[in-house]
Structure 1
Amino acid sequence: MTAPEIAAEEHRIGLGLGANLGDAPASLRRAVDLLREAGLVFDAVSSLYSTKPWGVTDQPDFINACALARTNLDPLPLLDLIKATEQAMGRRETRRWGPRVIDIDLLFYDDLRWSDERLILPHPGALERAFVLLPLAEIAPDLVLDGTRLASAAAAADARGIARLSPF
């Protein structure tokens, strides 16, 4: 994959990664490698977490992680890169919240508030989902997302069914 056009300044982003088909830990690692090759600079990646499915529960458990990275891409070209990475890894559209070989969510982009038909920032479910909060708070406890400190949100989250497995 080649990197899309880039903007002049660097932006701090958060990514949520998940998979529950095939070798899920290897899929998360491959996604980070592909995004790194495309120009993202990773500053931190959380541990791997085993999580019960959310939304649609009749499927295998997920492996999740979060990452902090920097990019020169604007939000929509970054989203295009994320979607191209998912497709390159074999992601196909299925039912919402269904099983997948890889899922990469853009959780935040600096402090930008953005909403259009393709992208909402910060991610609207990030503060509601323990499978995002726990790994993200592990690597950025003092980060404030949509007015909420991550460590506080993670401490208050219902973490039943979530287990920290290993370093990334």
Structure 2
Amino acid sequence: MERVYIGMGSNLAAPAEQLREALKALGQLPHTRLSGVSSFYVSDSLLPGQPRYTNAVAALDTALEPLALLDALQAIENGQGRERLERWGPRTLDLDILLFGDRLIDEPRLKVPHYHMQARAFVLYPLAELAPGITLADGRALDGLLAACPFEGLERL
């Protein structure tokens, strides 16, 4: 089993409820155990004019391979009404693999550590709740990423 961190976000159709439903689904994945979840945070959308997001990070211990887990996460998103109309559009649910054990993954469908996570307070601060002091597989320390990405704009629920 490997420890995997999943970034979670929603800004449509009762976002906090979307995250709670996703957590139930994550807990039912085969060969996987939900081992923790951060607080929920509210943040502004990265794009103007969109509703605010509710975000969290979940910790999983899984025996699934990365692309099998990705497929399972996308099935959960689809089951909760995710429509992929535009890359950065509003969504009922977004589940991203942030870290997968100590693996560096560079596949057409999956990049781990998740690209841009270093600039996203709504990812870093929830991750720090679950894995304080962690060093990413690419050698970056979470503490250093936090220092460069202020808490501004986040509201803990």
Structure-1-length-normalised TM-score: 0.88
Q: Does 1:71 align with 2:62?
A: yes
After the TM superposition, which residues 135-146 of structure 1 pair with which residues of structure 2 at under 5 Å, given as runs?
135-145=126-136, 146=138
The structure 1 segments of at least 4 consecutive aligned residues displaced by more than 3 Å after TM superposition are none
CA distance in 2, matches of 1:75, 1:34: 17
CA distance in 2, matches of 1:94, 1:110: 31
Aligned to 2:13: 22
Q: 2:37 aligns with which of 18, 39, 45?
A: 45
Q: 2:115 aligns with which of 104, 117, 124?
A: 124
Cα RMSD, aligned residues only: 1.2
Query: What SS does structure 2 have at the residue aligned with 1:148?
Result: coil
Query: What SS does structure 2 have at the residue aligned with 1:37?
Result: coil
**C-alpha deviation, 1:116, in angstroms:** 1.6
**C-alpha deviation, 1:123, in angstroms:** 0.7
Query: What SS does structure 1 have at the residue aligned with 2:90?
Result: coil
Which residues of structure 2 form unaligned runs of 5+?
Answer: none
Q: Does 1:156 align with 2:130?
A: no
Aligned length: 155
Could you tell me whether the CA contact under 8 Å between 1:141 and 1:149 is conserved in 2? Answer: no
Aligned to 2:95: 104
